[in-house]
Amino acid sequence: MLAGIALLALAAGATPVLASPRDQAREQVEFGIAVAQRGLWKEAIYRWEKAVEIDPAYAAAYNNLAIGYEQQGLFDKARAAYEKALEIEPRNTMIRQNYELFKEINDRANRQSTPQ
């Protein structure tokens, strides 16, 4: 009888704990950061897109995705990702600063490329 209880306890301990969607998304974001730091921007974008697919309410993932898009010259997508991040967390200072800097640089570049 005691051996049966020990096996039951062992089996219960072997059951994997399912990670929450936020935890899964956070893993994707962290991996994306690691590969972006090595210059692998397409892989980073893939990971951040996966993160927002897993957890559509994860503002930091949208912020990182916006930075990745910006890095790749996908400015319309970057703007949309920043706006989504701010829609989720309108008081997030870091996201707001990133977006303001993006707009300043992007708008200046657009003004310079438009013939007068």
Specify the CATH number for the domain of residue 25.
Answer: 1.25.40.10
* Whole-number pLDDT of residue 108: 78
Residue 47 domain-assigned (yes or no): yes
Residue 63 domain-assigned (yes or no): yes
Q: Is the dihedral of CA 67, 72, 73, 74 positive or negative?
A: negative
* Structural domain count, the chain: 1
* Whole-number pLDDT of residue 107: 81
Q: State the 10-residue block means of pLDDT for the chain, 116 residues long.
A: 40 58 97 98 98 98 98 97 98 98 87 67
Q: For the chain, what is the radius of gyration of the CA atoms?
A: 21
Residue 74 domain-assigned (yes or no): yes
- Region of 65 please: left (phi>0), alpha (psi -120 to 50) or beta: alpha
* Whole-number pLDDT of residue 2: 39
User: Residue 86 is part of which domain span?
Assistant: 20-113
Residue 9 domain-assigned (yes or no): no
Residue 14 domain-assigned (yes or no): no
pTM over 0.85: no
* Whole-number pLDDT of residue 33: 98
Residue 56 domain-assigned (yes or no): yes
Residue 53 domain-assigned (yes or no): yes
* Whole-number pLDDT of residue 111: 75
Residue 91 domain-assigned (yes or no): yes
| Residue 66: how many other CB atoms lie within 10 Å | 27
b/e sequence 80-113, b meaning 16+ C-beta within 10 Å: ebbebbbebbeebeebbebbeebeeeeeeeeeee
